[in-house]
Amino acid sequence: MLPLTPENPDVRVFRFADIHDAKSLLQMHRRLLEKYAIGEWPKGEPKGQEIQRWVRTVENYGPRHAKIGYMTATEGGQFYRLTWKGAFLVAWRGLWPTSLLRKLYARQSMNIERHELELQGIAALQKA
């Protein structure tokens, strides 16, 4: 399911819906790390504070969408609501045929990414 609001450009999301076994998914994950996160190590949350990452994501959702004009803060600033622009664009992205075209585009992008990663894996095997 694609999100109806713009994705965060600072966060990379890969959706491979046609991969069903864990081994293939793990291999794809490792290739993605080799391609996009060279030299970086996974950063976990401190023990006992694992939920904080999710909390930060939720807390940043409203302000980020307010910055791009999709949402606005209520008078108390505690809640966010869609603006006319946000409501129109969210509805537009969810309606047919726009939703179908977005899915096709996303699927094609992931197929291209997967093909490149598989070629990268084959090249690495040939070197070894």
82 occurs within a structural domain:
yes
Closest CA to 24 of 118, 92, 120, 122: 118
Q: Identify whether 8 is part of a domain.
A: no
Domain annotation covers residue 53 = yes
Quote the number of domains for the chain: 1
For residue 9, being part of any structural domain is answered with no
Residue 13: inside a domain, yes or no?
no
Spell out the long-range contacts of 121-127 with Cβ–Cβ below 8 A and sequence spacing 24 or more: 121/27, 121/31
The answer as to whether 59 is a domain residue is yes
Digit-by-digit pLDDT tens for the chain (128 residues) are: 677 877 877 778 888 888 889 998 888 888 888 888 877 777 777 888 878 877 887 778 888 888 888 898 888 878 888 899 989 988 888 888 988 898 898 889 888 888 888 887 777 766 76
With respect to residue 68, please indicate whether it lies within any of the assigned structural domains: yes
Range of the domain at 123: 22-37+48-127
Contact assessment for residue 34 and residue 27, using Cβ atoms and an 8 Å cutoff: no
